[in-house]
Structure 1
Amino acid sequence: MHAIQLMCNENRHEVYVFNNDKFVGVVTARDIIKKNFSSLEEIRVETLLRKIAPLAIDTEFEDIAKHLIISEFRSIPIEHEGKIYALSKLSLLKIMDKSFADKKKIKDVMNFPYVIESNDSIAVARSMMRDLNISRLPVIEDGKVAGILDILDVLRAVGERHRVKLGEVRGEKIDLGSVEVSSFMQKNFVTVSQDTSLIDAINEMIKSNVHAVLVVDEDKLSGMVTIKDIFKIFGRSVGSTYINVSGLDVVDEFERSWIEKRIESMLEKIGKQTNVRYIFTHIDKHKKEGKRAKYSVKGRLVSDAGTFYASYYDWDLLRAMKVFLDKMEKEVIKSIEKVRDTHRKRLIGV
Structure 2
Amino acid sequence: MDKKDILIKDVLVKNVITLNYDSPLSEALGIMKKHNFHQIPITKKKRFIGMLCLRNIITKNVDPEHTKSESLIIKTPVLNPENRIEDAVELLLNTGIKCLPVLDKNDRLEGVVSETDLIDFLTKNYSIKDITSELFTISEDQTIGKVRNMFREKNISRIPVVDKENRLVGIIRDMDLIKTMTPEKEKFYDEKIPVDKLSVKTIMTRPIVVGEEKNIRDVIPLIKKHGEVIIMQEDVPVGIITAKDILELMRFKPSKEIYVEITGLRGEEEQIKLDIDNEIKRFVQKFSRMLKNLEYLFIHVEKLRESGKRKYFDVRTRFKTPLGMFVSRAGSWDLLEAVGKALDRLEKEVKKKYDKIAEKHKI
TM-score normalised by the chain length of structure 1: 0.68
1:128 maps to 2:128: no
Q: Output one character per residue of 1:232-262: Cα deviation in whole Å (capped at 9) or x when no partner.
A: 22233386446977799xxxxxxx8x88755
Q: Which residue of 1 aligns with 2:306?
A: none
The verdict on how the C-alpha distance between 1:275 and 1:122 changes in structure 2, with shifts beyond 3 A counting, is same
Q: What is the CA–CA distance in structure 2 between the aligned matches of 1:234 and 1:40, rounded to whole Å?
A: 37
- Determine the structure 1 residue equivalent to 2:219: 201
Corresponding residue for residue 338 of structure 2: 331
Deviations 1:68-114 (A, max 9, x none): 222211111112584331211111112x1421xx3x32223223411
Larger Rg: 1
Distance 2:134 2:266 in 1: 34
* Match status 1:185 vs 2:186: no
- Which residue among 237, 250, 262 is the counterpart of 1:221? 237
Runs of at least 5 residues in structure 1 that lack an aligned partner in the other structure: 249-255, 281-295, 311-326, 343-350
Question: Which residue does 2:76 correspond to in 1?
Answer: 52
| Counterpart mapping for 1:152-171 below 5 A | 152-160=175-183
Letter in 1 for 2:46: D
The CA deviation string for residues 194-220 of structure 1, in whole angstroms up to 9 with x for no partner, is: 1212222224434xx122111123222
Tell whether the 8 Å contact from 1:276 to 1:301 is kept in structure 2 after alignment. Answer: no
CA distance in 1 between partners of 2:88 and 2:180 (Å): 34
Deviation, 1:60, is 1.5
Change (3 A) 1:145 1:264: closer
Identity over aligned residues, as a percent?
Answer: 21
Corresponding letter in the other structure for 2:101: P
C-alpha distance in 2 between matches for 1:71 and 1:191: 28
Alignment root-mean-square deviation, CA: 4.0
Distance 1:151 1:107 in 2: 25
User: CA, structure 1 residues 245+148, in 2 after alignment: closer, same or farther (shift >3 Å)?
Assistant: closer
For residues 117 and 297 of structure 1, the distance between their equivalents in structure 2, rounded to whole angstroms, comes to 33
2:18 alignment partner in structure 1: none
Q: In structure 2, what is the Cα distance between the partners aligned to 1:247 and 1:184?
A: 39
Corresponding residue to 1:211 among 217, 223, 227: 227
Structure 1 residue 21: Cα displacement: 1.0
Q: How many equivalent residue pairs?
A: 290
* Residue 74 (structure 1) aligned to one of 83, 98, 115: 98
Within the candidate set 74, 85, 106, 1:61 is matched to 85
1:16-31 equivalent positions in 2, closer than 5 A: 16-31=41-56
Following superposition, the deviation at residue 309 of structure 1 comes to: 8.2
For residue 86 of structure 1, what is the aligned residue in structure 2?
112
Could you give the per-residue CA deviations for residues 130-162 of structure 1, whole angstroms, max 9, x where no partner exists? 111111011224533222110110122222466
User: 1: CA distance between counterparts of 2:215 and 2:267?
Assistant: 42
Q: CA 1:278–1:268 in 2, change beyond 3 Å: closer, same or farther? A: farther
How far, CA to CA, are the matches of 1:244 and 1:30 in structure 2? 21
21 and 174 in structure 1: CA distance in 2 versus 1, 3 angstrom threshold? farther
CA distance in 1, matches of 2:34, 2:221: 25
Q: CA 1:21–1:306 in structure 2 vs 1: closer, same or farther (change >3 Å)?
A: farther
1:223 Cα shift? Answer: 2.0
Which deviates more, 82-91 or 126-135?
A: 82-91
Give the corresponding residue for 1:268: 281
Measure the CA separation in 2 of the matches of 1:243 and 1:35. Answer: 23
Tell me if the contact between 1:17 and 1:27 (Cα under 8 Å) persists in the aligned partners.
yes
Contact 1:158 1:174 in 2 (8 A): no
Deviation for aligned residue 1:301: 8.4
Partner of 1:237, secondary structure, is coil
Provide closer, same or farther for how the CA distance between residues 212 and 247 of structure 1 changes in structure 2, counting only shifts above 3 A. closer
Contact 1:24 1:52 in 2 (8 A): no
Deviations 1:282-315 (A, max 9, x none): xxxxxxxxxxxxxx999988653669787xxxxx
Separation of aligned partners in 2, 1:137 and 1:263: 30
Question: Relative to structure 1, is the Cα distance of residues 297 and 49 closer, same or farther in structure 2, using a 3 angstrom cutoff?
Answer: closer
> How far has the Cα of 1:27 moved from its partner?
1.3
Mark the CA change 1:16 to 1:308 in structure 2 (over 3 Å): closer, same or farther: farther
1:177 counterpart SS class: helix
Query: Alpha-carbon deviation of 1:128?
Result: 1.3
Q: Residues 107-146 of structure 1 correspond to what in structure 2 (within 5 A)?
A: 107-141=129-163, 143=165, 144-146=167-169
CA contact (8 A) 2:228 2:242 kept: yes
